[in-house]
């Protein structure tokens, strides 16, 4: 052994001692976790419920998915391996299709990450791909006619959603086509949600379907490689679903998904029903400061964005702005200062802004109101 290896070995032994002692307390925190405020009455859970590992056509071991989720500060994930598509099976045979979940759980349980047992039912069009999550046994979903796994998943108490409905490989126009098969699944209570955002694709047509058919709105990464390579190192966060739950546990998450209390998010793009986007946006921006510029009727308001998304707004008040475009962005975790020409000194103002990055329906943005109270000032 060359002599220079000796000090190396000594150093390694020193390093290993404290690491071994901390094995139960290790963390996977990152500098820029996703952040969203809770809304009145509910906790806001950040979730990515569609992901792959080497146990189907992904490229990583299941524990990496858990660590990626922790690095981004997510509350819940699901590993949804293709049941029928198994390109690595010659190298990684696994007759028990629950293994991906079980291996991930060994890592997740140390960190209070909510891990949801799921699988992707993978069929050709017109059936398409669907995720069944909150299942109890993936093996039982494996065989049978197309409707059999849906019936079985429903019997297991699963929440089932239509994946990438606009995927051009199955729908060449890049638009979702609701088949008779899927209509029957919705009718029979075997299809409850739909992805309106899958990877980087937002489908307005999928949003329209969600609203028309009463389906839960979801956004997912459908990650196969690394979250870092596909999203983080490009300055993005992965697409996620915000779920408004009564508590931070799997049962509450499931209840909220069935109750359609969700908003799909990809960076500054937020898609959801009006009743959930409204309180979320209101809680996401806080009034840091308000006061009149000396000797003027111009009200200075400092807005602070509490989230990890940049938020784009347009003024919809009768009052116009001084020294600002009517369209402006509040950067993630940053502030923006408005100067509103209120024409007379007021002690409060109903600030009204249209959220241009948020959609309640195709091409429809919510308008959000905040009550701005102006503290009394001797100069005014």
Query: Residue 73 Cβ, how far from Zn ion at the closest point, in Å?
Result: 23
Indicate whether 195 belongs to the interface with Zn ion (CB under 5 A).
no
Residue nearest Zn ion, Cβ-based = 129
Cα-based angle 255, 50, 94 (whole degrees, multiple of 5)? 110
Give 273's contacts (C-beta < 8 A, 6+ positions apart).
Answer: 211, 217, 260, 360
Region of 222 (left: φ > 0; alpha: ψ -120 to 50; beta: rest) is left
Give the bridge partners for 42, in sequence order.
Answer: 39
Task: Kindly tell me which of 162 and 292 has the beta carbon lying closer to Zn ion.
Answer: 162
Site for Zn ion in 36-95 (CB under 5 A): none
**Whose Cβ is closer to Zn ion: residue 200's or residue 335's?**
200
Of 81, 152, 205, 222, the one binding Zn ion (CB under 5 A) is 222
Compute the least distance from the CB of residue 211 to Zn ion, in Å: 23
Query: H helices within 22-146, ranges in order?
Result: 62-71, 99-108
Q: Least Å distance between CB 198 and Zn ion?
A: 8
Nearer to Zn ion, 122 or 308 (CB): 122
Of residues 122 through 161, those in contact with Zn ion by CB under 5 A are 129
221 lines the binding site for Zn ion (CB under 5 A): no
Which of 308, 263, 249, 223 lies closest to 49, judged by CA?
223
**Candidates 14-22, 153-161, 162-170, 254-262 — which segment interacts with Zn ion by CB under 5 A?**
162-170
- For 277, the token pair is 């986007």
**Cβ closest to Zn ion, residue 107 vs residue 222:** 222
- Residue 79 pairs in a beta bridge with 117
The stretch near Zn ion (CB under 5 A) out of 106-114, 116-124, 262-270, 287-295 is: 116-124
C-alpha R_g of the chain: 24
Burial class (CB in 10 A: 0-12, 13-18, 19+), 375: exposed
- Catalog residues that contact Zn ion under the rule CB under 5 A: 120, 129, 163, 222
């Amino acid at each position: 052994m060359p002599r220079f290896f000796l000090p190396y070995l000594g150093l390694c032994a020193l390093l290993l001692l404290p690491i071994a002692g901390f094995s139960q307390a290790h963390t996977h925190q990152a500098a820029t976790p996703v952040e969203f405020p809770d809304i009145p009455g509910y906790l806001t859970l950040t979730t990515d419920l569609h992901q792959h590992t080497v146990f189907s056509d992904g490229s990583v071991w299941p524990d990496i998915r858990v660590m990626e989720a922790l690095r981004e500060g997510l509350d819940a994930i699901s590993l949804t391996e293709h049941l029928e598509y198994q390109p690595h099976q010659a190298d990684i045979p696994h007759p028990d299709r629950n293994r991906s979940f079980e291996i991930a759980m060994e890592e997740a349980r140390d960190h209070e990450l909510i891990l949801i047992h799921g699988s992707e039912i993978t069929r050709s069009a017109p059936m398409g791909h669907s995720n069944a999550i909150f299942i109890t046994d993936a093996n039982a979903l494996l065989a049978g006619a197309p409707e059999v796994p849906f019936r079985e998943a429903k019997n297991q108490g699963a929440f089932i959603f239509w994946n990438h409905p606009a995927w051009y490989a199955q729908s060449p126009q890049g638009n979702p086509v609701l088949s008779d098969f899927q209509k029957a699944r919705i009718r029979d209570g075997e299809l409850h949600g739909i992805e309106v955002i899958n990877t980087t694709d937002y489908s307005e047509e999928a949003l329209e379907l969600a609203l028309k058919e009463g389906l839960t709105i979801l956004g997912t990464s459908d990650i196969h490689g690394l979250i870092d390579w596909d999203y983080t190192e490009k300055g993005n966060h992965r697409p996620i679903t915000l779920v408004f739950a009564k508590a931070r546990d799997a049962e509450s998450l499931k209840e909220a998904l069935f109750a359609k209390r969700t908003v799909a998010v990809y960076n500054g793009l937020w898609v959801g029903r009006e009743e959930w986007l409204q309180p979320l946006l209101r809680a996401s921006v806080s009034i840091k400061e308000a006061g009149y510029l000396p000797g003027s009727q111009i009200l200075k308001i400092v807005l602070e964005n509490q989230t990890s998304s940049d938020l784009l707004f347009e003024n919809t008040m009768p009052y116009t702005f001084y020294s600002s475009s009517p369209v402006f962005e509040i950067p993630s975790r940053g502030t923006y200062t408005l100067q509103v020409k209120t024409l007379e000194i007021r002690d409060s103002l109903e600030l009204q802004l249209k959220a241009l990055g948020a959609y309640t329906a195709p091409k429809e943005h919510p308008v959000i109101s905040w009550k701005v109270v102006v503290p009394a000032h001797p100069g005014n």
